[in-house]
Structure 1
């Protein structure tokens, strides 16, 4: 596996963003690889699906963009309903947002993190951003499926997906 050109000290508190994310993925046993000097791609098993995670570091802006793709493709005949659902879903989010990538009509969750002047990411930040992305994809995955495959209206799909079961099974 290729490294970013600097040795990574496992005792280090903060690191270059893609290096820290790579360390997190390796520690969790999640497959990942460098796509470029400032980009990694990996895969995480969520509750509903495997999610592709891509992280892109823009050093000139000190912004780390994290994308989580649940491998959901939007057919042309469902685009209007999905855009309506995305608007409803995005109202529920504090961080990040869902979107439809115009190249391939792929659903994705996107979050940009502005890092400090040093451009370093801590392990705690890396864990939080990845866990938030997977959590939000898991949380809303059923709503997307209800619209795509269950022919529910966007509002009904969201209501059905956000129902909390009472008691324990």
Structure 2
């Protein structure tokens, strides 16, 4: 395990701040999530959520001191469903405090995206890394049923959101 952090149950105990990609690699390693560097300032991982395995990607832009985090629930939206999905994404994004859902115009891939601005030192702390990764996974898990209701249940965006929130509220 990396010297940057160590796992204590489900939490990561702070040892030191680090470059964002290095810190995320240490988090993924501590969680035993498969990951790989996809570039000098990029990393990807496979993260098991409640509904699916998500592709998680992080890209560090040192000149802006921003790390862009992407969580992809492996959902491709066929052309006939894209208008409904765009409407659903608008309704979902109204409920989010950080990050947002989007759909790439090429391929219709749904994703959660969050740009995390770091301070002058450009370092990411263990607790902050854990929080932002868990938030992305939680939001994908929370809204995954909405996407499925639209794609497979032929529900309208409003119906899909209402049904998903009732189902989520009923889980204990």
TM-score, normalising length: structure 1: 0.92
Measure, in 2, the Cα distance between the counterparts of 1:10 and 1:131.
Answer: 18
2: CA distance, partners of 1:146 / 1:73: 14
Q: Which runs of 5+ in 2 are unaligned?
A: 6-14
Corresponding residue of 1:3: none
Q: Which runs of 5+ in 1 are unaligned?
A: 1-7
| 1:13 Cα deviation from its structure 2 partner | 1.1
- Cα offsets for 1:87-125 (capped at 9, x unmatched): 000001000000001222100000000000000000001
**Higher mean Cα deviation, 96-105 or 33-42?**
96-105
Q: Which runs of 4+ in 1 moved over 6 A?
A: none
Deviations 1:43-92 (A, max 9, x none): 10000000000000000000010000000000000000000000000001
1:10-59, Cα deviation, whole Å (9 max, x unpaired): 36410000000000000000000000010000010000000000000000
Q: Give distance in 1, aligned partners of 2:33 and 2:104.
A: 24
Q: Provide the aligned C-alpha RMSD in A.
A: 1.2
State how many pairs are aligned: 160
What is the TM-score when the length of structure 2 is the normalising length? 0.90
